[in-house]
Amino acid sequence: MSLADADRAPYHVCVTLLGMVVIAAAVAVVGVGWGLDVPAVRSVIPGAVAMEVQTALGLGAGGAAVLLLRPRARGRHRTAGLVLASVPGVLGLTVLGEYALRLNLGIDELPFADYEARVAELTYPGRFAPVVGVCFLLLTGALFTLDRGAKRRWRPSELLAIPMAIPAAMSLIGHAYSIPAFYGPSSASKLAVNTALCFLALAVALLLARPRGRVLELATTTSPAGVIVRRMVPLCLLVPFVLGWLQLRTVHWGLFGDEEATWWTTAAAIAGLVGMINWCARTLSHTDGKRRALEAQLYSLANRDSLTGLFNRHRFEDELNQLLARARRYGDTGSIMLLDLDGMKPVNDTLGHAAGDELLRRVADVFKSRLREADIVGRLGGDEFAMVLLEASASTAADVAHELCTAIAAIEITTLDGTRSSTASVGVAPLDATPGLTCSELLARADEAMYVAKRAGGNQVASTDYLSGPAWHATTGAAALAHR
């Protein structure tokens, strides 16, 4: 996929929307939440930790960098994107340094003082949690490595975006489960709801920002692995979360005790897992069925003539080569016949090519009905057919050829433009086990015999027995299928 195609890809719209949402959230927190002192915008949930100003600045810069670092970004846009991408990293490194060295550089409450943190007597009012600093470092690293990595492999940006999403998801689960350790003001791993959502949005945007990533490949491939990933991963994330929340809520509401709630949760988890396995098994079975059908179709296209259903030239020659190898090794016998229609051109000229195609199909039906299943029949091209009669001498093959000529001559093609029929000329050659003899040489022998029949007036069978000498035998008429 070219860069231009990547820039127009549908998922690029998602990247743009996610980046704009993060920027809007950051602007709302700084301008409304802190600037106009609206606590609901800062923390979303009353009493929970709020998004700090520095956090909003880092997230906003990251969202803008995602928008600027498009696949086709060059020149000033790319430079501006890289500058903005460095902002979260600088903030994260600075604050983590403050934690590690126990410093206070005086930037935590710029430009707004965090009075709520002071009232709660927090050690570092206005300073975001260490986990935010780590996520900022991951965000900057992912933005700087967006274009690194080979196709069909994990890209560095993906490997950095996924761990960035994990603490955000854990924080949201903590909020949903009402676990203060994940969101309380004194928690070292605190993340506001809006902060966690913004980090998740940026992680998804980074995974979608380039079309050659492993995540997108797994999400869009039709392989069984991709099907399993698309089916199982969302359920594996959603089902445990829902069951855990229901267990906590039912105990909190007094509907069940701890033991009963745990029993119901375990039973529901088992039922859910069995259902997911059954669903995936049916999906894989359906996918495998379609794959088998496509393989059969491809096999038919590669080996069969689309008009007559007979072997095509490639497959016929392959079968003949194998038969020659068996003849040289095990002494297998047989004869090859080359058949060409005598009156094909008049049929096409007077009745049309559709009538000519119908004649070819009916000739193929003659072969299918009058030859053995073990015999090999192919259409070499146009109105030329080839047959290998296993364990049949040249004289037996000539008898078979006579009956085929009689049956073909009896075929009549009727249209509004009239009625036409055709005859056939057949050349017969015995299978030769001479070392070094090729398929092409054997076909050339039968072809030479067939042209003897053509020159004799058509509707003829000509055969040559190279094992006894170069004598030619031309015959006409019909005979019984002695080899059947």
CB 320 within 8 A of CB 442: yes
The answer on 286 and 384 residing in a single domain is no
Residue 245 three-state SS: helix
What range does the domain containing 266 cover?
224-302
The answer on 330 and 286 residing in a single domain is no
CB 32 within 8 A of CB 40: no
> Of 181 and 269, which is predicted with more confidence?
269
For the chain, the average pLDDT equals: 84
Would residue 481 count as lying in a domain?
no
Distance in angstroms (rounded) separating the CA atoms of residues 399 and 461: 9
Would residue 484 count as lying in a domain?
no
294 exposure class (CB count in 10 Å sphere: 0-12, 13-18, 19+): exposed
Distance in angstroms (rounded) separating the CA atoms of residues 323 and 333: 9
Residue 423 has pLDDT above 50, yes or no: yes
Any idea which residue has 């995602």 for tokens? Answer: 66
Residue 1 has pLDDT above 60, yes or no: no
The answer on 399 and 380 residing in a single domain is yes
Mean pLDDT of 134-143: 95
pLDDT of residue 29: 94
Mean pLDDT of 74-80: 88
Would residue 308 count as lying in a domain?
no
Backbone angles phi, psi at 470, to 5 degrees: -85, 25
pLDDT of residue 473: 47
pLDDT of residue 468: 31
Mean pLDDT of 57-77: 90
Would residue 483 count as lying in a domain?
no
pLDDT of residue 164: 94
The answer for residues whose C-beta is within 8 angstroms of residue 344's C-beta and 6 or more apart is 356, 359, 382, 383, 422
Give the end of a domain, one of 271, 302, 333. 302
Backbone angles phi, psi at 445, to 5 degrees: -65, -45
Distance in angstroms (rounded) separating the CA atoms of residues 340 and 423: 9
Residue 383 has pLDDT above 80, yes or no: yes
Residue 418 has pLDDT above 80, yes or no: yes
pLDDT of residue 72: 75
pLDDT of residue 184: 56
The answer on 275 and 145 residing in a single domain is no
Count CB-CB contacts under 10 A for residue 255: 12
Interval 23-48: pLDDT, tens: 999 999 999 999 998 988 988 887 77
Mean pLDDT of 149-176: 84
Q: What confidence tier does 151 reach under pLDDT thresholds 50, 70, 90?
A: low
Residue 4 has pLDDT above 60, yes or no: no
Q: What confidence tier does 180 reach under pLDDT thresholds 50, 70, 90?
A: low
Would residue 199 count as lying in a domain?
yes
pLDDT of residue 366: 94
Nearest to 304 by CA among 216, 355, 259, 364: 364
Mean pLDDT of 217-222: 72
pLDDT of residue 394: 87
Backbone angles phi, psi at 130, to 5 degrees: -55, -35
Give the end of a domain, one of 302, 332, 350. 302
Would residue 175 count as lying in a domain?
yes
pLDDT of residue 187: 55
Mean pLDDT of 262-286: 84
Would residue 482 count as lying in a domain?
no
Q: Which pTM was predicted?
A: 0.59
> Of 144 and 329, which is predicted with more confidence?
144
Nearest to 213 by CA among 200, 202, 204, 223: 204
Count CB-CB contacts under 10 A for residue 147: 16
pLDDT of residue 68: 93
> Of 55 and 466, which is predicted with more confidence?
55
Strands 424-430 and 461-464: parallel
The answer on 239 and 200 residing in a single domain is no
Residue 252 three-state SS: helix
Would residue 436 count as lying in a domain?
yes
The answer for residues whose C-beta is within 8 angstroms of residue 34's C-beta and 6 or more apart is 42, 53, 56, 112
> Of 470 and 142, which is predicted with more confidence?
142
> Of 331 and 87, which is predicted with more confidence?
87
Mean pLDDT of 2-7: 45
Residue 297 has pLDDT above 80, yes or no: yes
The answer on 246 and 137 residing in a single domain is no
Looking at residue 128, what DSSP letter applies?
A: P
The answer on 234 and 209 residing in a single domain is no
> Of 237 and 54, which is predicted with more confidence?
54
Cis peptide bond N-terminal to 111, omega within 30? yes
Residue 481 has pLDDT above 60, yes or no: no
The answer on 214 and 228 residing in a single domain is no
Q: How far is residue 327 from each of residues 14, 114, 313, 367, 464, measured CA to CA in Å? A: 65, 94, 21, 24, 19
Number of structural domains, the chain? 3
Q: State the CATH number of the domain containing residue 426.
A: 3.30.70.270
The answer on 428 and 351 residing in a single domain is yes
pLDDT of residue 312: 93
The answer on 327 and 278 residing in a single domain is no
Interval 98-125: pLDDT, tens: 989 988 888 888 888 887 777 777 778 8
The answer on 282 and 328 residing in a single domain is no
pLDDT of residue 189: 58
Any idea which residue has 């698309």 for tokens? Answer: 230
The answer on 378 and 366 residing in a single domain is yes
Interval 314-373: pLDDT, tens: 999 999 999 898 888 888 888 999 999 998 888 988 899 999 999 999 999 999 999 998
Give the end of a domain, one of 281, 302, 323. 302
